[in-house]
Amino acid sequence: MKAAELSRVGPAEEVVICREVADAPPPGKGEASIELIACSINPADILGIEGNYASIPETPSPLGIEGAGRVTAVGTGVRDLAVGDLVMSLHRANWSQSLTVPAAALVKLPAEIDPEQAAMMKVNAATAMLMLKSYVTLKPGDWVMQNAGNSGVGTDVIKLARKRGLNTVSVVRRHELIKPLHDMGANVVVLEGPDLAERVSAATNGAEIKLGLDAIAGSAVNDMAACLAEGGVIVNYGLLSGKPCTLDAHQVVFRDITLTGFWLAKLMRGMQPKQIRDMYAELSGYFIDGTLKVAVEARYGLDDIQKAMAHAKRESRSGKVLLRPNG
């Protein structure tokens, strides 16, 4: 069978290869085998491949944080899964035609969910939901601010906040992004740049913004802090600028602004299996009822993995890039 593999750390479009590997073994006790239908290329995949994530990967190594597929076989002792079930994989090496993994690493999904959407649910949607729930107690009518509002997490934040009756301020880099975000339910969309705090205050009628979600780091953190109410919390979950988070003493000492970090993998390690399944059951419902839907710009087979990686790295895409390991 075919699988994608990291040959060495470097530019993703050069170092990820498709190769023939041994077929997945039959499932043993407590295991299940799946055939992958769709896998997303997530920004975290690219960061890891290029050596810019939590740790430098050993090579060669399998790849792929997200994937969804159907169960093809179950081992003894597996009671919650059956052949034909649609599942999302919690395994972190999903860019393959098939896998055999512990059944506990698979989340059974409702039959109604689109497998491609399921393949994009594990990271971005969960990140958006947990950041909205875990740091500040928010009630309908409260405001949330974010930068990189057009990103995968950013658009999920807009949609989930709207579902909860929350208002959003989204900061973007290009004027042409403003209308699409308004169309999907964003309350306020502003361009990054000088006088951001004054412009945000004017657009929100001076609303107290208690939570800020930062994907950029660098000076964007301090820019966001100036927009928040006293005692506000900034959650940094990305490093698009490639620079350290900057937060000056005035914001920390005199305005009591707190900066904390979010990493989904670490948070999920502290969650009980039932909590994880309940979270994805809730998110599945949002994908089924249309609250959440992720645009797909392109689909590639594993044979075209390098083209897929180059496409996923393009700026100004209109949707995600997916892998279809089995066609």
CA distance 94 to 326: 12
Residue 238 near residue 148, CB atoms below 8 Å: yes
CA distance 321 to 280: 22
Nearest partner of 197 among 227, 235, 234, judged by Cα: 227
Q: In terms of DSSP H, where are the helices of 189-303?
A: 196-203, 220-225, 249, 264-269, 273-289
| Catalytic residue (one of 53, 135, 237, 280) | 53
* Residue 237 designated active-site: no
Six-digit token pair at 151?
Answer: 């990103």
CA distance 259 to 111: 40
Please compute Rg for the chain using Cα positions. Answer: 20
> What are the residues whose beta carbons fall under 8 Å from the beta carbon of 121, sequence distance 6 or more?
66, 68, 88, 280, 283, 284, 287, 292
The DSSP bridge partners found for residue 2 are 20
Active site residues: 53
